[in-house]
């Protein structure tokens, strides 16, 4: 079974802090993704990575950056956290072969005070 592990289930930070969300997958997947989930808006793609050291902007990258130094790890960085970044963050990975599903972690519920 694919295992995608997000470092925290719940996180509380203050406005202006630099926040790191970590995601690790154990299936040697090339592709990894970060989403945020908000009520009524569904899942929105923040950033994704097709391979190590590669990154692409998703639909809502503003205020975020990412790092993929190793294949198994994909980090999401909030450079200067703001209250509108309070959300549920979901990491996913998938095999790069066509049509393979994304497998998700348990999510991190982040609150910015």
Partner 1 sequence: AQKVTQAQTEISVVEKEDVTLDCVYETRDTTYYLFWYKQPPSGELVFLIRRNSFDEQNEISGRYSWNFQKSTSSFNFTITASQVVDSAVYFCALREGKLIFGTGTRLQVFP
Applying CB under 8 A, the residues found at the interface with partner 1 are: 9, 33, 40-43, 45, 48, 58, 88, 90, 92, 98-107, 109
Cα atoms in the 13 Å half-sphere on the side-chain side of 19: 27
Least Cβ distance, residue 16 to partner 1 (angstroms): 27
Least Cβ distance, residue 24 to partner 1 (angstroms): 15
Least Cβ distance, residue 108 to partner 1 (angstroms): 9
Q: Which is nearer to partner 1, 38 or 79 (CB)?
A: 38
Q: Which is nearer to partner 1, 45 or 77 (CB)?
A: 45
Q: Which is nearer to partner 1, 84 or 97 (CB)?
A: 97
Look up residue 8 and give its two tokens.
Answer: 């925290």
Q: Are 65 and 74 in contact (CB under 8 A)?
A: no
């Amino acid at each position: 079974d694919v295992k995608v592990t997000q470092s925290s289930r719940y996180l509380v930070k203050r406005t202006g802090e630099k926040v790191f969300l970590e995601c690790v997958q154990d299936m040697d997947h090339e592709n990894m993704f970060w989403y945020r989930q908000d009520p009524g808006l569904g899942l929105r793609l923040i950033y994704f990575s097709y391979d190590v050291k590669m990154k692409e902007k998703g639909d809502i990258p503003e205020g975020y950056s990412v790092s993929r130094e190793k294949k198994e790890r994909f980090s999401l960085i909030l450079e200067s956290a703001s209250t509108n970044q309070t959300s549920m963050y979901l990491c996913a990975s998938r095999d790069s072969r066509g049509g393979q599903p994304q497998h998700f972690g348990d999510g991190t519920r982040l609150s910015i005070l």
